[in-house]
Amino acid sequence: MHPVDFLSRRFGFSAEWLRDLKIQEDQGTIFVGTPEVMKFREAKPLRRGIRLCRIFPASIKPTTFAMQIFGRLATRSRIEVSEEQARVLINGGEIEVGATIENGYVIVFWREFVVGVGLYKKPILKSCIPMFRPLD
Amino acid sequence: MRAKRDLFPPLFVARYERIINDFDDFISAMLTPLPKVFRINTIKALPDKVLPLLKDFKPQQLPYNPVAYVVKDGMGLGRRLEHFLGLIYIQEAASMVPPLVLAPQPGETVLDIAAAPGSKTTQMSAMMNNRGLIIANDLSYQRIRGLVGNVDRMGCLNVVICRGDGIILAKKLSNSCDRVLVDAPCSSEGTIRKSKEALERWSFRGIENFSRVQKGLIVAGYQALKPGGKMVYSTCTIAPEENEAVVTYLLSRFPEAEILPIELAHLKMRPAIREWEGKGYPSVIESCRRIFPQDNDTEVFFIALIRKPDNAPS
């Protein structure tokens, strides 16, 4: 299954979730950006758009930054957390949640905003959010 | 007031009291801490969704920027979830002005020739509704790490990041860009409110060195413009050698270049100077604008808006 189809199925994205955008694979990572970004040939860029997901032999791992854009379109595999729980996850921790969803990657919401991606193995939700700085 | 002046190098005072008529007000403002300002990242959320979450900070909208807000006490703002999630971007108020003047549109091709750490790149990305193309370039690999982080955090899908000499890149992009931002590396005299570091390493030789680099970048930026395209040249410094003299140099190379007037409602800006150290600048240079801290409680900025005519020779 193509990684984009996998993500669509996992998160219940509609068929048009990447409408007007292009994807490109580079060394096991799929990037997403505007058509102009993917067409750019005048120089060799370090980056085009943002990382959508990484392809591993046994899994497809969506990125936090892409899901912060597209995650609000998800109809499945969503977990809502409190501000305190969000802070734990952002600092690389894990929390116990009682969600009745399938194990695997989930999109973590705080209010209506996407915090990032987590890995859920009932009942533990583990952070997959890149750590940049500790949050109080 | 004498004691305040003594905190600045004597040459700095001698140079700039000649071009800033309310110099004592300027010095006082430069010694006052900067207010914290953030803008809402409209790629991810609109102000009505984000502002209620930040009401403890009592944000006040900047009169010249509908998505930017100043807070009295910004302590802890950078550690808020809203910041981590890319709903807001903390950015100095005057530093938001060059993109506002350039006004990139959705679908356009924009070159940001010295982009790191990406404040203006991500601001332009939002102004373009995350459409089109921004070529964000910088020379320093170290600084590009910050650019990548900010592009990711703000969710910019319309940005390619390049590392290299902006002059070489601009040559490859000759006559192809709708807009170009040359927010040039500079002696950063105007950032003293944020950090005294610029004052500590201030020297006239530094100004001369930056001026050379800036002349190369402004010419390269102009060459990358399509006929009819617009460029903003900006610095966060006071030195006329890095400002008016650089724009004058562009006009000497490309006499057809048009210097456009700059207006931004509710932001006080002063005209560029016409003469410095015995050298006169062309009268059109007066259309360039200077932003001073005592006028709007910001850092210092110099901004020029330049257009390549439709019939410019290629």
Name every chain B residue with its beta carbon within 8 A of the beta carbon of A90.
81, 84
User: pLDDT band at A133, cuts 50/70/90?
Assistant: low
* Burial class for B226, CB neighbours closer than 10 Å (0-12, 13-18, 19+): buried
Using the Cα atoms of residue B103, residue B106, residue B112 and residue B115 in order, give the sign of their dihedral. positive
Q: Report the pLDDT averaged over residues B220-227.
A: 98
Check whether A135 has a pLDDT greater than 50.
no
Minimum CA–CA partner of B153 in chain A: A65
Cβ–Cβ contact B11 with A under 8 A: no
Could you tell me the two tokens for B184? 């040039």
Q: Looking at the domain assignment, is residue A132 inside a domain?
A: no
- Mutate one of B51, B53, B81, B163 to test the A interface: name it (highest A CB count within 10 A): B81
Q: Looking at the domain assignment, is residue A23 inside a domain?
A: yes
Q: Looking at the domain assignment, is residue A60 inside a domain?
A: yes
Distance (Å) from the alpha carbon of A33 to chain B's nearest alpha carbon: 4
Number of structural domains, chain A?
A: 1
Q: Looking at the domain assignment, is residue A102 inside a domain?
A: yes
Minimum CA–CA partner of A108 in chain B: B85
Domains of chain B (ranges, CATH numbers): 93-307 (3.40.50.150)
Distance (Å) from the alpha carbon of B117 to chain A's nearest alpha carbon: 15
CB atoms within 10 A of CB B248: 21
Mapped onto helix, strand or coil, the DSSP state of residue B3 is: helix
Q: Rounded to an integer, what distance in angstroms lies between the CA atom of residue B298 and that of residue B258?
A: 28
Q: Which of A33, A87, A113 sits opposite B157 (nearest CB)?
A: A33
User: Do the chains contact at B160 and A83, CB–CB below 8 Å?
Assistant: no
Which residue in the block uniquely carries the two structure tokens 């952070």? A127
Highest mean pLDDT among A1-5, B60-64, B141-145: B60-64
Q: Looking at the domain assignment, is residue A134 inside a domain?
A: no
Q: Looking at the domain assignment, is residue A77 inside a domain?
A: yes
Of chain B residues 46-75, which have a CB less than 8 A from chain A? Answer: 49, 53
CATH of the domain at A83: 3.10.450.720
Q: Looking at the domain assignment, is residue A135 inside a domain?
A: no
Check whether B227 has a pLDDT greater than 80.
yes
Residue B196's pLDDT is 82
What dihedral angle (degrees, nearest 10) is formed by the CA atoms of B124, B126, B128, B134? 50
User: Do the chains contact at A36 and B158, CB–CB below 8 Å?
Assistant: yes
Could you tell me the two tokens for B240? 């006329």
Minimum CA–CA partner of B141 in chain A: A46
Helix axes B244-253, B204-224, angle to 10 degrees: 40
Residue A134's pLDDT is 40
User: pLDDT band at B152, cuts 50/70/90?
Assistant: very high
Q: Rounded to an integer, what distance in angstroms lies between the CA atom of residue B81 and that of residue A83?
A: 8
User: pLDDT band at B32, cuts 50/70/90?
Assistant: very high
Name every chain B residue with its beta carbon within 8 A of the beta carbon of A110.
81, 85
Q: Looking at the domain assignment, is residue A16 inside a domain?
A: yes
Q: Report the pLDDT averaged over residues B269-276.
A: 97
Distance (Å) from the alpha carbon of A132 to chain B's nearest alpha carbon: 9
Distance (Å) from the alpha carbon of A121 to chain B's nearest alpha carbon: 24
Q: Rounded to an integer, what distance in angstroms lies between the CA atom of residue B286 and that of residue B299?
A: 20
ipTM: 0.95
User: Do the chains contact at B156 and A50, CB–CB below 8 Å?
Assistant: yes
Q: Which residues of B are catalytic?
A: 236
User: Do the chains contact at B152 and A32, CB–CB below 8 Å?
Assistant: no
The reported pTM is: 0.96
Minimum CA–CA partner of B146 in chain A: A132
How many beta-carbon contacts under 8 Å exist across A and B? Answer: 100
Residue B201's pLDDT is 85
* Domain hosting residue A85, numbered range: 3-127
If you average pLDDT over every residue of chain A, what do you get? Answer: 94
Check whether B2 has a pLDDT greater than 80.
no
User: Do the chains contact at A46 and B144, CB–CB below 8 Å?
Assistant: yes
